Structure 1
C-alpha cells in the first residue's frame, strides 16, 4: 500500500504517522525528543524514528514509504532542507533533509517549519479553510505563529514570520533558550 511518513519534531516530544495515498491514517507513534541529551543526540533520535517508521511500513504495508514530510521548530530553510537554528533543541545548520533522505534509502523528504506546516494544514483542512487570511498559533515547548494569506503561509523576508515566541514581553524575566531574557515562550509556553 502506497504511503508517506509524516514526522513532527517538538521540543519535548515527536509525533509521527504513516498516511495512505487517500489520506487515511495507517499508523501513528510518539517518542520523546530527549533534548537534554544535546543536539546531536536529538538528530540521531529523529533519524532512528524515521527509519523505524520506514521499517514498519515495509513490514505492515508491503513497501517503503514513497516520501516523507518532516516538520521541525526554529528557523528552517525549506529550500535547502536545513534546520538552521532551534533554541529549544540547541542545533544550528543541520542538513536534515539530506540526512533523512540517506537514512530512508533515497526517499524524497520535505522539511518544513513545524508551525507553518501546521498552519498550512489548518488553512487547507481546518478552521482556516476558505478564509483569505488567518493567524494560527502553535503552543508547546515553544510558541510561534503562521500567517495564512490567500492559501499560502507567509515565511517573511528572512524566514522568521510568525516567530512570536522570542518577542521580549518581560525584560527582567527568565532566561530563554535563545539567550534573551523575558521572551514570551520562556514565560508562557
Structure 2
C-alpha cells in the first residue's frame, strides 16, 4: 500500500493522519503543540510522522510512506517551502520543506494550514461544487483562504493574513507585537481571555453559553467580536464577489450563536442577500486532510 502522511501544526494541537492514494484515512492522531517550538517544529513533525508509521505497522498495515505534507500557520512561502514567520509559534525564515526532505527520503509538500483546509473543504467538505468561497477558521489565531473560480488563491506569503488587520487601534496586545489586531479581538483565544479578564471562569465555549443565557457582559464581548469580523470579512467578500463564507475552528462550534448574527451583519455591510455563512464540514481534520492532498500532488 502506498501511504501519504499529512501533518497540520496548529496553535494548540498537532493533527496528523496517514492516507492511502484513494484518499481513505488509514490512521489519525492528535497531540498538543509544544509552547512556541520555533525551529524545533521540524523535530515535532518528524517525530509525528515516525510515530504514525510505527502505529500503522503495529496495526498490521502493510505499506510504505510515498510522500508527506506539512502545513503550518503564519506567513508561508509555498514556492520556496519556507515557513517565513509565525507570531504564535515563534519561527522565522525556516526552510521547512528542505529540512523535512533531509529527514524523509520521499517528496515533501509544504503549505499554509488555512489554504490547505480550504483545499480539503473544496474536494471533500462544505465547499464542494462552490466556485467561490472564503474560509475563516477562528481558533488560537485567525487567518483566511479564498477560493476564486474553483482555485485556492495563493498570491504571496501575506495572502489571507486577515488576523493582523488592526480593528481596534488601542485594543489588546497581539502576538505580533501590535495592538488591536483582529486576532487579538475576535479569535477563540482572545474571547476566552476577555471573558477571564472580567473575573469569569472558562473559555470561549463558556462565553458562548453565557451569550445564549442572556448575560449582558458576554453579549457585549460577543457582539464586539462579530462587528470586528464583519469589518474585515465584508470588504473581502465585496471585492471578490464571494457568496459562501465557511467558518471553522473552535469558535464555529457555537453554531447559530455565531453564524446567524455574522451573516446578518455581513449582508447589511455589503448590501446584498447572496451570502451564505455556514460551518466548515471537516472540523479540525481539514488541515491534515489538505496536507495529504498536497502530498499526493507532490508524489505525482
Fold match, TM over 0.5? yes
RMSD of the alignment, in Å? 1.6
Equivalent positions of 1:1-189 (< 5 A) are 1-36=1-36, 38-59=37-58, 60-104=60-104, 106-156=105-155, 158-189=156-187
Q: Cα distance, 1:58 vs. partner?
A: 4.8
> Equivalent residue of 1:182, what SS?
coil
Structure number with the higher helix fraction is: 2
What is the distance in 1 between the residues matched to 2:174 and 2:130? 34
What is the distance in 2 between the residues matched to 1:183 and 1:65? 41
> Equivalent residue of 2:144, what SS?
strand
Deviates further, 51-60 or 87-96: 51-60
What is the distance in 2 between the residues matched to 1:83 and 1:143? 17
- Structure 1 runs (4+) deviating above 6 angstroms are none
What is the distance in 1 between the residues matched to 2:103 and 2:35? 21
What is the distance in 2 between the residues matched to 1:81 and 1:102? 13
Deviates further, 47-56 or 14-23: 47-56
Q: Cα distance, 1:41 vs. partner?
A: 3.3
What is the distance in 2 between the residues matched to 1:87 and 1:134? 26
TM-score by length of 2: 0.59
Deviates further, 165-174 or 56-65: 56-65
> Equivalent residue of 2:31, what SS?
strand
What is the distance in 2 between the residues matched to 1:165 and 1:46? 25
Show CA shifts across 1:24-73 (max 9, x none). 1110101111124x413333222221222233345542333101111100
> Equivalent residue of 2:44, what SS?
helix
Structure with higher Rg: it is 2
Q: Which runs of 5 or more residues in structure 2 are unaligned? A: 188-300
Size of the aligned set, in residue pairs, is 186
What is the distance in 2 between the residues matched to 1:108 and 1:58? 21
Q: Which runs of 5 or more residues in structure 1 are unaligned? A: none
> Equivalent residue of 2:64, what SS?
coil
What is the distance in 1 between the residues matched to 2:64 and 2:100? 14
Show CA shifts across 1:96-150 (max 9, x none). 112212222x111100100011111112222222222111111211111111011
Show CA shifts across 1:155-177 (max 9, x none). 22x33221111111111112111
Q: 1:55–1:64: 8 Å Cα contact kept in structure 2? A: no
